Amino acid sequence: MRGGGIWRVRPYVRPYRTQMLVMLASAAGALVAVSTVPLVTEAVINGPIVHHRGGLVPLAALALALGVGEGILLFVRRWILGRAATGVEADIRNDLYAKLQTLPVSFHERWQSGQLLSRATTDLTLIRIFVGYGLIYLVVNTMTFVYVVALLLHLDVRLGLVTVAAAVPIMITGARFRRDYHSASRRVQDQQGDLTTIIEEAALGIRVIKAFGRHAVEGARFASMARTLQSSSMVAVRLRARFFATLGLVPNLALAAIVLGGGWAVSDHVMTLGGLVAFVTLFLMLVWPVESLGEIMAIAQEASAAIERIWEVFDTPPDIADRPGAVDLDRCEGRLRFENVGFSYSEGGRRVLAGVDLEVAPGETVAIVGATASGKTTLLSLVSRLADVTDGRIAIDGHDIRDMTLASLRRHVAVAFEDPTLFSASVRENLTFGAPDATDAEIDAALDAAQARFAHHLPWGLDTRVGEQGLSLSGGQRQRLALARAILGRPRILVLDDPLSAVDVHTEAKVEAALARLLERTTALVVAHRPSTVALADRVAFLDGGRIVATGSHHELLSTVPGYRAVLAQDVEAPAGPPAWEATAV
Ligand SMILES: Nc1ncnc2c1ncn2[C@@H]1O[C@H](COP(=O)(O)OP(=O)(O)O)[C@@H](O)[C@H]1O
Ligand SMILES: [Mg+2]
């Protein structure tokens, strides 16, 4: 029953080794107890019944004791096992979550979140079922089979060989089932992931779906995906049904042969009546293990496909991690240098950035201006190492940021993205995301600077839970909370990607005044598209096609660089970013 690297769960099962051993011992005990009963029956029939000898009561008492013993052992087994199985599930889930945190942003861009979600839920459940039931019954049934067949051969060699022969067709169909069922269940699990993605997107994109009247189309898309999943599931069901039928049929055929052969043997006096009864009773003990073999093999293959899916995540190398010997930069002056930085999103892919040289002095604010898709967001994401440079290096106070620990890098560098994500948690929890020790006074100051005092007037103040992705807030409100979150930790280096694109002009002016005060002491890299935001900066770097083509003051660039003028002017006519209604909803 190897198949699909199912044994990769071994490290997770190992901590529960003792429980597993106790479990196996109690299973073996129960097996011995229950299979001794037919031997007692044999003694009862051949002794007190056929020959009218005494000793019925002690034999009956023994049978009773064996029954009670088996019951207790079964209880112990189930209880211990339940704990081990849920423990294994929890351990794998924690590791999976931790792994997801270490994987680069590019990984999450490549993977549908529904595929990750279904791995963290459905697939883990399948593994738990395997560890909790499948694995154990696999062992217990094998044990039962070997032990009982040995007893049967001992009772009567010829009838015992009939039993052994019956195992052959089962093994042949079993091997075929295992192969086919593995790929069938892999397909089902992948499609469950696709379906989860659709549900998730529909929930997150509900406003767009409604606004464009797309619910019928989306509903149809979902229904067709669901039908595909159903027909894949039916393939699995058919495979199971066929195999189960074989498993039901073979023992009955064998039983018929045994009753026939046994009948002749008893009438020819080569076998006692008690012996035949014991043989048949013992043989019947095999029926359930054989029939349940189908279920167990199905569980094992589902788990093996699940393990394959989960280990695809585990096997992804984390390409951004602390280097051995990375330094924890304690004090940071805030000097930021890009040295000949180049970047492409995929190996050998198009250069999104090339030859970027830029030095930002401590306390200086540099605005990055450039047309859409010129590489502004990409450049900023390199500073906090959401991705690593492909060429050149980025240095803080002269240290290559790849030689700093990620923890210290992210302590000194705070980021606010254009599309701010808020988590399903209170406003306070969202704000203190990067600065868990922030005091109320510090939170207030950050909210003031970001013009986000509205947070105090939410129904429960800062304890108000904001919905998933902060949907209950307007785009401008979310941006201002994200800005407050970024400045809360008082970072030495602040990286802002168009932080005010969804904020109305009036509020923007106020945020800018507050930011100007804040930025006096902070090194800042700010993507901007409005002249008023650009005016905050000491210097402007103009990015065009992934290269910095000019740096200077706003006025210098305005008079000497036609491209710069065009980008800013374009913006005055048609503001980029979310539609106007979202900005006015602030
Ligand atoms: N995750 C990504 N994978 C591949 N290409 C990307 C990714 N993000 C951005 N790009 C490409 O990189 C270029 C620069 O994008 P971006 O940095 O977002 O520009 P800007 O912020 O200036 O609009 C664009 O051509 C864009 O298509
Ligand atoms: Mg951008």
Which atom of ligand 1 is closest in space to residue 105's alpha carbon? 1
* Pocket perturbation via mutation, ligand 1, pick of 107, 378, 381 by most ligand atoms within 8 A of CB: 378
Which atom of ligand 1 is closest in space to residue 375's alpha carbon? 17
As beta bridge partners, residue 400 has 395
Query: Are the C-beta atoms of 405 and 412 separated by less than 8 Å?
Result: no
Measure the CA–CA gap between 265 and 275, rounded to whole angstroms: 10
Burial of 396 (0-12, 13-18, 19+ CB in 10 A): buried
How many angstroms separate the alpha carbon of residue 378 from the centre of ligand 1?
A: 6
Q: What is the pLDDT of residue 180?
A: 94
* Pocket perturbation via mutation, ligand 1, pick of 106, 345, 346, 548 by most ligand atoms within 8 A of CB: 345
Ligand 1 atom 14: residue of nearest CA: 375
Ligand 1 atom 16: residue of nearest CA: 375
Which atom of ligand 1 is closest in space to residue 374's alpha carbon? 22
Q: What is the pLDDT of residue 274?
A: 87
Which atom of ligand 1 is closest in space to residue 543's alpha carbon? 22
Ligand 1 atom 20: residue of nearest CA: 373
Residue of 226, 232, 172 whose CA lies nearest to 199: 226
* Pocket perturbation via mutation, ligand 1, pick of 110, 352, 372, 527 by most ligand atoms within 8 A of CB: 352
Q: How many CA atoms lie within 13 A of 229 on its CB side?
A: 16
Topology of domain 6-314 in CATH is: ABC transporter transmembrane region fold (1.20.1560)
* Residues 59-73 as b or e (16 or more Cβ within 10 Å = b): beeebeebeebbeeb
Helix residue ranges per DSSP H, 520-577 = 531-534, 554-560, 562-573
DSSP state string for 120-176: IIIIHHHHHHIIIIIHHHHHHHHHHHHHHHHHHHHH-HHHHHHHHHHHHHHHHHHHH
Query: Are the C-beta atoms of 336 and 409 separated by less than 8 Å?
Result: no
DSSP 195: H
pLDDT tier, 471 (very low <50, low <70, confident <90, very high otherwise): low
Instruction: Measure the CA dihedral 247/253/256/262, to 10°.
Output: -90
Give the three-class secondary structure for 395: strand
Measure the CA–CA gap between 478 and 484, rounded to whole angstroms: 10
Condensed to tens digits (0 to 9), the pLDDT of residues 161-173 reads 988 898 899 889 9
Condensed to tens digits (0 to 9), the pLDDT of residues 271-315 reads 888 889 889 988 988 888 888 888 899 999 999 999 999 999 998
Domain 336-584 architecture: 3-Layer(aba) Sandwich (3.40)
Element (H, E) at 338: strand 336-343
Of 100-109, 128-137, 246-255, 465-474, where does mean pLDDT reach its minimum?
Answer: 465-474
How many angstroms separate the alpha carbon of residue 374 from the centre of ligand 1?
A: 8
Which atom of ligand 1 is closest in space to residue 498's alpha carbon? 21
% of the chain residues with pLDDT over 90: 36
pLDDT tier, 2 (very low <50, low <70, confident <90, very high otherwise): very low
Measure the CA–CA gap between 273 and 283, rounded to whole angstroms: 15
The ligand whose atoms approach the alpha carbon of 378 most closely is 1
Condensed to tens digits (0 to 9), the pLDDT of residues 495-508 reads 999 888 878 878 88
Which atom of ligand 1 is closest in space to residue 527's alpha carbon? 21
Ligand 1 atom 9: residue of nearest CA: 378
pLDDT tier, 59 (very low <50, low <70, confident <90, very high otherwise): confident
DSSP state string for 74-127: HHHHHHHHHHHHHHHHHHHHHHHHHHHHHS-HHHHHHS-HHHHHHIIIIIHHHH
Q: What is the pLDDT of residue 454?
A: 92
Ligand 1 atom 3: residue of nearest CA: 345
Q: Quick check: 548 pLDDT over 50?
A: yes
The pLDDT mean for the chain works out to: 86
Ligand 1, CB within 6 Å, residue ranges: 109, 345, 352, 370, 372-378
Q: What is the pLDDT of residue 3?
A: 42
Condensed to tens digits (0 to 9), the pLDDT of residues 385-420 reads 988 999 999 999 999 999 999 889 988 999 888 778
Ligand 1 atom 2: residue of nearest CA: 345
State the pairing for strand pair 413-416/365-370.
unpaired
pLDDT tier, 468 (very low <50, low <70, confident <90, very high otherwise): low
The ligand whose atoms approach the alpha carbon of 542 most closely is 1
Condensed to tens digits (0 to 9), the pLDDT of residues 188-201 reads 999 999 998 888 88
Query: Are the C-beta atoms of 302 and 179 separated by less than 8 Å?
Result: no
Q: What is the pLDDT of residue 470?
A: 59
Provide the residue type at 32 as one letter: V
Ligand 1 atom 25: residue of nearest CA: 373
Residue of 377, 466, 451, 386 whose CA lies nearest to 418: 377
Domain locations in the chain as residue ranges: 6-314, 336-584
Tokens 């008082």 sit at which residue? 490
Query: Are the C-beta atoms of 100 and 313 separated by less than 8 Å?
Result: yes
Query: Are the C-beta atoms of 527 and 356 separated by less than 8 Å?
Result: no
Tokens of 378: 């990409």
Q: Quick check: 509 pLDDT over 50?
A: yes
